[in-house]
Copies of this chain bind each other. A is one copy, B any other.
Amino acid sequence: MAIKHGKQTYMLSKKIYINETAAIVGPREKDGPLGKYFDQSEREDFGEDTWEKGEAHYVNATFNKLMSKIDVDTEKIDCIFSGDLLNQCMASAIGLKNSGVPYLGLYGACSTMVESMLCASLCIDGGGMTNAVAITSSNFCSAEKQYRFPMELGCQRTPTAQWTVTASGAVYLSSQKSGAPADMKPYINAVTTGKIENYKINDVNNMGAVMAPACASTIISHLNDLSRQPDYYDMILTGDLGETGSNLLCDILRMHDINIEDKHQDCGKLIFDSVRQGTKAGGSGCGCAAAVFTSYIYELLKTLQIHHLLFVATGALISPVMVKQNEDLLGIAHAVSIEI
């Protein structure tokens, strides 16, 4: 069983292998710097008559893509851990309603990809599960409609605003390594649970500032709990802080004498060429960290270009109603340590 270290971190007793991944993205993501790494690209609406149904279609297609890439029957999947940004997590529920697999719904805003990998890892390590799928999604159009303004208004965006990624990403996690015996697969060996952080920020166009303190807190806890230095990792990958949040993260960590600048990458910065694509501070949404990790980063791991990865997905626990009621916007970040 897992062993708790410090206040928030669990060292797993098993290697939880990331045996396979799948990512399906929208046209803007396909056109971005990581375009060639994704399994498939589709229209924003994926041929459906609403954006919400389109997002659910992304989830469904990504799950099916993952299952087609692995030689495992859905009967062998013990549980799906899933969530998204839509009200009542409808993209996950609709997208997976025909899977026939036990389903645990999660909500961690944009931190959901790592939250689901974390929960799945703990449940596989000691909870009696063997195989699980973690999957999340987001969609630019359904998110704009729900969180910001009707698409038809064509509203301008502030420089700190982020662009919700249209994508779904999925990982197949197992305590058993798949493939030939000589194949190397990345595995999760430690997880760090996040706490809600409140820096009393209420600018809804600056999610990076909401999430950066939570991200810093989780990274500090992770390093302290395991007595590790940032040097332990080849890459510290944050979910979707974007340009503004990434700068803030490095600033906050520097105040704690932690320097991660030479190994820090952010999924929100990686997925778009923000100057050419006009995506302001970068990508965001559950699908951002999910799609970047399951494509480009997974490739870096498999090809041994990185051996030790700390993957920290960050979420802004906000709702439009909270914003209207002048509540502080809250941040959270969960982390998984991945090695190969």
- Which A residues between 120 and 144 are near B, CB-CB below 8 angstroms? 122-123, 125-130
Cβ contacts A47-58/B at 8 Å (1 or 0 each): 000101100000
Size bracket of the A interface: 35 or more
Q: Which residues of B contact A2 (CB under 8 A)?
A: 126-128
10 sample A-B contacts, Cβ–Cβ < 8 Å, listed by A number: A1-B126, A4-B128, A8-B102, A10-B129, A86-B319, A104-B115, A105-B332, A122-B123, A123-B127, A125-B127
Q: Is A195 an interface residue (CB 8 A)?
A: yes
Q: Is A223 an interface residue (CB 8 A)?
A: no
Stretch at the interface among A23-31, A153-161, A255-263, A320-328: A320-328
Contact in complex: A196, B128 (CB < 8 Å):
no
Residue of B nearest to A112 (CB): B105
Q: Which residues of B contact A100 (CB under 8 A)?
A: 195
Oligomeric state, in number of copies?
2
Q: Is A97 an interface residue (CB 8 A)?
A: yes
A78 CA to B99 CA, complexed, in Å: 32
Stretch at the interface among A35-43, A88-96, A177-185: A88-96
Contact in complex: B97, A104 (CB < 8 Å):
no
Q: Which residues of B contact A11 (CB under 8 A)?
A: 128
Contact in complex: A122, B115 (CB < 8 Å):
no
Top 8 nearest A-B pairs (CB, nearest first) are A126-B126, A2-B128, A122-B127, A102-B193, A88-B319, A93-B317, A1-B126, A10-B128
Q: Is A107 an interface residue (CB 8 A)?
A: yes
Q: Is A3 an interface residue (CB 8 A)?
A: yes
A85 CA to B88 CA, complexed, in Å: 7
Q: Of B94, B122, B194, which one neighbours A327 at CB under 8 angstroms? A: B94
A3 CA to B319 CA, complexed, in Å: 39
Q: Is A318 an interface residue (CB 8 A)?
A: yes
Q: Is A103 an interface residue (CB 8 A)?
A: yes
Chain A residues engaging chain B, CB cutoff 8 angstroms: 1-4, 7-8, 10-11, 50, 52-53, 75, 78-79, 83, 85-90, 93-94, 96-109, 115, 118-119, 122-123, 125-130, 193-196, 198, 317-322, 325, 327-328, 330, 332, 334
Contact in complex: A83, B107 (CB < 8 Å):
yes
Contact in complex: B79, A193 (CB < 8 Å):
yes
A89 CA to B315 CA, complexed, in Å: 13
Residue of B nearest to A198 (CB): B97
Do A127 and B50 contact each other (CB < 8 Å), given the known contacts A97-B198, A196-B93, A332-B103?
A: no
- Nearest CB in chain B: distance from A336 CB, A: 13
Contact in complex: A321, B86 (CB < 8 Å):
yes
Q: Which residues of B contact A319 (CB under 8 A)?
A: 86-88, 90
- Nearest CB in chain B: distance from A128 CB, A: 3
A90 CA to B321 CA, complexed, in Å: 9
Residue of B nearest to A145 (CB): B321
Contact in complex: B7, A75 (CB < 8 Å):
yes
Contact in complex: B126, A109 (CB < 8 Å):
no
A81 CA to B196 CA, complexed, in Å: 13
